[in-house]
Amino acid sequence: MTKPATAPRRSDATKAAILVAARERFAADGYERATIRAIARDASIDPSMVMRYYGNKEGLFVAASAIDLRIPELGALPGKHVGSVLVTHFLDRWENDDVLTAMLRVGVTNEAGAERMRAVFAEQIGAVTVGVCPVPAEAAHRAALVASQILGMALARYVLRFGPAVEMSRDEVIAWLAPTVQRYLTAETP
């Protein structure tokens, strides 16, 4: 029952090519400027194929932005290094996956994108905070604080390409942000 057991179709390759192109365009241009025609051109197919396989533009975005933050298991790790591990993880994810940049760019101008972003971060970061922060009732607040710092750095570094934020090395970024995240997660309420 784990596999849908549907036979592989010839069109699977096309569908996948569309998704790859869509992710790149959404990440580079945001929702409005990423046109179906441009995506189809990148995937070397006709625009009408996009409609056939994904219904409409929003359906394409939903399919293209399916995402798993793959936050590592923190239970077994030393509690004092949670911040460092998290920041490192997110830098890796952002530099190796267009979907994150796409979600950020789209979420700012498109309500569906914003909703998706809220859901992903609330669930996946929230899941971590409940196990780590001292006041479980505050887990959502703590998650929001962590998200604000991580998204802010992603914004400055990968979207706005703010000079000094780009020039900083990975290790510098980690050294500065880790204590912040650590504090948001584990410090007493100020």
Partner DNA sequence: AGCGTTGGTCAACGCTTGTTGGCAACGGTA
Partner DNA sequence: TACCGTTGCCAACAAGCGTTGACCAACGCT
Unique residue bearing structure tokens 């569309």:
18
Binder of residue 52, out of a second copy, DNA, none (CB less than 5 to 8 A by kind): DNA
* Widest CA span in the chain: 58
Going from the C-alpha of 130 to that of each of 71, 74, 84, 123, 185, the distances in angstroms are 14, 11, 18, 11, 9
157 binds a second copy per the rule CB under 8 A: yes
- Of 15 and 145, CB closest to a second copy: 145
Binder of residue 95, out of a second copy, DNA, none (CB less than 5 to 8 A by kind): none
Binder of residue 72, out of a second copy, DNA, none (CB less than 5 to 8 A by kind): none
Binder of residue 20, out of DNA, a second copy, none (CB less than 5 to 8 A by kind): none
Binder of residue 135, out of DNA, a second copy, none (CB less than 5 to 8 A by kind): none
The interface with DNA within residues 43-82 (CB under 7 A) comprises: 44-52, 56-58
Specify whether the CB–CB gap between 36 and 47 falls below 8 A: yes
36 binds DNA per the rule CB under 7 A: yes
98 contact partners, CB below 8 Å, separation of at least 6: 23, 24, 26, 27
The interface with a second copy within residues 56-75 (CB under 8 A) comprises: none
Count other Cβ atoms within 10 Å, centred on residue 1. Answer: 4
Distance of CA 58 to the CA centre of its chain: 17
Which is nearest to 160 in space by CA: 104, 110, 95?
104
Tokens of 39: 């995506």
Residues 55, 60: Cα–Cα separation, whole Å: 7
- Of 32 and 46, CB closest to a second copy: 32
- Per-residue binder mask for a second copy (CB under 8 A), 89-128, x = binder: ---------------xx-xxx----x--xx--xx------
Binding site for a second copy (CB under 8 A): 29-30, 32-33, 104-105, 107-109, 114, 117-118, 121-122, 140-141, 143-145, 147-153, 155-157, 159-165, 167-168, 172, 175-177, 179-180, 183-184, 190
